[in-house]
């Protein structure tokens, strides 16, 4: 029988185990996907450890919100897809019940899109969460335009790298923020127009320098925490800050009295909207086709080594690139 990764209690990577389960038939309007690879995301670690605010029912919980594979079966009244179509998952309803850490999963047909031609299986497994988050925050929410100076925190992470590439493709000017000056060359090579390393540079002064004194038009805050105040001071009056991450767990009061437009952003507000998903998919396909958009994959593990994949992410050995598990 097909294999599935489950956990019966919250804890470290070792709570994960592989079991065998019968293949489920897709319900009306659903597809069954034979998973070829999935990515390991920080959200998965939060679910596994019990840190996620949402309820994760135990025992026998599953993981995985990202992956790619081939349509294996169609449920009744499912249209627009054929058996054998290569797809990527755009959203996994009830990931704790039918997450992508498995050889097969079923999802609504509206929650998959065609796999972009030109992406290998490993890259396709790692592309959607990062690029849909960055696209949704910058294009759909902040209305990024050519020429905009865009300040991107946690720039060496998966979403940060995607944001740099998306800004470049649109013609905006990405300014990458990182904690370590050692990452400067890597981020410049990834497409950043400038890099601000907070271990030796004042953020506000550096951004003023790189924007000719005007400040950033858009700030993508993937960190939050007390450092957000410096980001607010780095933006021009009338600019936009999109808070789309929570890497710093310290409380971040919602800014008041700021001359900026402030948005809180979670990707599901767009990945559950069919019209926006269609725009995301079209942008991704075009970017992959012309070489502008390409996920950075660190290490590929096998399903048998899923515990080690979680250890690898927790230890920070991935250097901000995506970790993929092949099935």
Looking at the structure, tell me whether residues 141 and 242 fall in a common domain. yes
Instruction: Tell whether the model's pLDDT for residue 192 goes beyond 80.
Output: yes
pLDDT of 119-161, one tens digit each?
Answer: 999 999 999 999 999 999 999 999 999 999 999 999 999 999 9
Q: Please check whether residue 230 lies inside any domain of the structure.
A: yes
Q: Please check whether residue 140 lies inside any domain of the structure.
A: yes
Looking at the structure, tell me whether residues 186 and 260 fall in a common domain. yes
Q: How far apart are CA 188 and CA 195, in angstroms?
A: 7
Looking at the structure, tell me whether residues 117 and 155 fall in a common domain. no
Give the CATH number of the domain where residue 161 resides.
Answer: 3.40.50.720
Q: Please check whether residue 220 lies inside any domain of the structure.
A: yes
Kindly report which listed range (32-46, 102-116, 250-264) carries the lowest average pLDDT score.
250-264
pTM of the model: 0.93
Looking at the structure, tell me whether residues 144 and 215 fall in a common domain. yes
Q: How far apart are CA 281 and CA 300, in angstroms?
A: 24
Q: Please check whether residue 275 lies inside any domain of the structure.
A: no
Q: Please check whether residue 283 lies inside any domain of the structure.
A: no
Q: Residues 178, 187: contact at Cβ < 8 Å?
A: yes
pLDDT above 70: percentage of residues in the chain: 100
Buried b (16+ CB within 10 A) or exposed e, 233-256: ebbbeebbbbbbbbebeeebeeee
- The pLDDT, as a whole number, for residue 319 is 75
Looking at the structure, tell me whether residues 41 and 123 fall in a common domain. yes
Q: How far apart are CA 5 and CA 257, in angstroms?
A: 47
Q: Please check whether residue 272 lies inside any domain of the structure.
A: no
Q: Which domain holds residue 234?
A: 131-266
Q: Compute the average pLDDT of residues 79-102.
A: 95
Looking at the structure, tell me whether residues 155 and 257 fall in a common domain. yes
- Residue 56: partners with Cβ closer than 8 Å, 6 or more residues away: 10, 47, 50, 96
Looking at the structure, tell me whether residues 45 and 18 fall in a common domain. yes
pLDDT of 39-50, one tens digit each?
Answer: 999 899 999 999
Q: Please check whether residue 287 lies inside any domain of the structure.
A: no
Query: What is the count of structural domains for the chain?
Result: 2
Q: How far apart are CA 271 and CA 122, in angstroms?
A: 21
Q: Compute the average pLDDT of residues 25-31.
A: 97
β-pair type (194-197, 173-178): parallel
Instruction: Tell whether the model's pLDDT for residue 226 goes beyond 90.
Output: no
DSSP one-letter string for 186-217: HHHHTT-SEEEETTTS-HHHHHHHHTTTS-EE
Looking at the structure, tell me whether residues 314 and 222 fall in a common domain. no
Q: Residues 323, 312: contact at Cβ < 8 Å?
A: yes
- The pLDDT, as a whole number, for residue 204 is 95
Kindly report which listed range (53-57, 194-198, 224-228, 240-244) carries the lowest average pLDDT score.
224-228
> If you search the block for the tokens 């649109």, which residue do you land on?
170
Give the CATH number of the domain where residue 115 resides.
Answer: 3.90.180.10
Q: Is the dihedral of CA 284, 289, 294, 299 positive or negative?
A: positive
């Amino acid at each position: 029988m097909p294999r599935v990764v489950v956990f019966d209690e919250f804890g470290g990577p070792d709570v994960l185990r592989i079991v065998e389960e019968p293949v489920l038939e897709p319900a009306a309007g659903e597809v069954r996907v034979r998973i070829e690879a999935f990515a390991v995301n920080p959200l998965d670690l939060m679910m596994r450890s019990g840190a996620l605010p949402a309820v994760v029912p135990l025992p026998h919980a599953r993981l995985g919100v990202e992956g790619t594979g081939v349509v294996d079966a169609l449920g009744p009244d499912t249209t627009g897809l054929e058996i054998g179509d290569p797809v990527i998952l755009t959203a996994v309803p009830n990931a704790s019940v039918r997450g992508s850490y498995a050889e097969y999963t079923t999802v609504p047909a509206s929650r998959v899109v065609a796999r972009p031609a030109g992406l290998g299986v490993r890259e396709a497994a790692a592309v959607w969460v990062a690029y849909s988050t960055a696209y949704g925050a910058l294009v759909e929410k902040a209305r990024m335009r050519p020429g905009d100076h865009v300040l991107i925190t946690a720039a060496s992470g998966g979403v940060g790298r995607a944001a740099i590439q998306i800004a470049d493709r649109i013609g905006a000017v990405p300014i990458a923020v990182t904690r370590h000056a050692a990452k400067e060359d890597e981020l410049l090579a990834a497409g950043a127009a400038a890099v601000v390393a907070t271990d030796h540079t004042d953020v506000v002064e550096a951004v003023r320098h790189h924007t000719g004194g005007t400040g950033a038009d858009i700030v993508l805050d993937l960190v939050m925490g007390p450092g957000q105040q410096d980001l607010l001071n780095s933006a021009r009056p009338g600019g936009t800050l999109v808070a789309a991450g929570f890497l710093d767990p310290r409380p971040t009061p919602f800014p008041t009295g700021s001359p900026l437009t402030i948005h809180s952003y979670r990707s599901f507000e767009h990945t559950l909207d069919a019209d926006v998903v269609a725009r995301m998919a079209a942008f991704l396909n075009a970017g992959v086709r012309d070489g502008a958009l390409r996920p950075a994959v660190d290490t590929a593990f096998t399903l048998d080594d899923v515990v080690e994949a979680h250890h690898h992410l927790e230890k920070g050995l991935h250097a901000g690139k995506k970790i993929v598990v092949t099935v």
